[in-house]
């Protein structure tokens, strides 16, 4: 963009060194956690003097951490399984209706992502408390589903806009019912977008912490909740180990999405 100013070398060097610093700032916290998880000492020294796998052993040997990891993965999968079909149906509705109705539906579906998480969390806590459902997996699940629906829609709406609706009309006029038209024509053609939406919904649930902190408890504590509680009490390198594992899982999912979209 700035090729019209080729001889401004000094300002270019200044701009890029500034950028390097900002990028370093962005990368630093993640980068520091990974080596720390392989430290052999229980001090948070950086760089570690000697390396070992002891924190991973502690982590995999801990029933609490493993239960939380399992809860989070199950919760993520359930969230994706509910949010994506609901999101797809809502997107078909938005796509076909158009006009004011579509804007209104989109507006309602977006509310959860605009309202501060802490408000959703305490409100949900009140509602669930009235039904004696605080601490159940169900409570966290509905919270995660409403956060994941807009995420799924962001992926699915543009895909539906490219979809040729005449195909559905042809199928309908040949006698296919709606379930068959949606399942047999729309779903197969949106396969890649649906996969992306599923993974994004999964990640949304995996990453969510505030609702979990307020609504999940005991057996159903999610990984972010457990990490939050440990960060407040003590910070030993076990958290570095779970952090590294966590980041690897998420980056793997993101890579799958990106590569799928490219191919």
Minimum CB distance to another protein, residue 152 (Å): 9
Query: Residue 187, interface with another protein (CB under 8 A)?
Result: no
Q: Which of 13, 118, 170, 256 binds another protein (CB under 8 A)?
A: 118
Query: Residue 76, interface with another protein (CB under 8 A)?
Result: no
Closest to another protein by CB, 30 vs 219, is 30
Q: Which two tokens stand for residue 9?
A: 């070398």
Strand partners, 135: 216
Distance between CA 96 and CA 166 in Å, rounded? 12
Distance between CA 3 and CA 50 in Å, rounded? 48
Q: Which of 68, 69, 80, 92 binds another protein (CB under 8 A)?
A: 92
Q: Which of 50, 54, 87, 195 binds another protein (CB under 8 A)?
A: 87
Assign residue 132 a region (left: φ > 0; alpha: ψ between -120 and 50; beta: otherwise): left
In the region spanning residues 234 to 253, those forming contacts with another protein, defined by CB under 8 A, are: 235, 239-240, 243, 246-247, 250-251
Query: Residue 29, interface with another protein (CB under 8 A)?
Result: yes
Burial of 9 (0-12, 13-18, 19+ CB in 10 A): exposed
Find the part of the chain contacting another protein (CB under 8 A) among 51-59, 61-69, 186-194, 199-207: 199-207
Minimum CB distance to another protein, residue 64 (Å): 16
Q: Which of 56, 58, 70, 94 binds another protein (CB under 8 A)?
A: 94
SS3 assignment for 106-132: HHHHHHHHHCCHHHHHHHHHHHHHHCC
Burial of 169 (0-12, 13-18, 19+ CB in 10 A): exposed
Query: Residue 33, interface with another protein (CB under 8 A)?
Result: yes
């Amino acid at each position: 963009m700035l090729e019209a100013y080729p001889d401004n070398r000094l300002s270019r060097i200044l701009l890029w060194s500034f950028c390097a610093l900002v990028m370093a700032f962005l990368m630093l916290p993640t980068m520091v956690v990974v080596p720390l998880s392989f430290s052999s000492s229980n001090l948070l020294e950086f760089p570690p003097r000697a390396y070992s796998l002891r924190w991973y052993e502690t982590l995999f040997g801990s029933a609490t951490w493993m239960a939380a990891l399992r809860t989070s993965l199950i919760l993520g999968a359930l969230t994706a399984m509910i949010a994506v079909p609901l999101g797809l149906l809502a997107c078909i509705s938005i796509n076909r209706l158009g006009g004011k109705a579509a804007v209104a539906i989109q507006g309602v579906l977006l509310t959860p992502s605009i309202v501060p998480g802490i408000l959703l969390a305490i409100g949900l806590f009140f509602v669930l408390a009235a039904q004696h459902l605080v601490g159940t997996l169900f409570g966290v699940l509905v919270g995660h589903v409403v956060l994941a629906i807009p995420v799924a829609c962001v992926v699915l709406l543009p895909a539906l806009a490219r979809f040729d609706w005449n195909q559905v009309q042809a199928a309908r006029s040949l006698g296919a019912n709606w379930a068959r038209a949606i399942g047999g024509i729309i779903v197969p053609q949106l396969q890649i977008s649906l996969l992306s939406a599923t993974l994004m919904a999964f990640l949304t649930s995996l990453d969510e912490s505030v609702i979990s902190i307020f609504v999940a408890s005991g057996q159903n504590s999610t990984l972010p909740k457990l990490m939050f509680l440990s960060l407040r009490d003590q910070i030993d390198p076990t958290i570095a180990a779970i952090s590294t594992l966590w980041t690897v899982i998420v980056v793997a999912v993101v890579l799958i999405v990106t590569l799928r979209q490219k191919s």
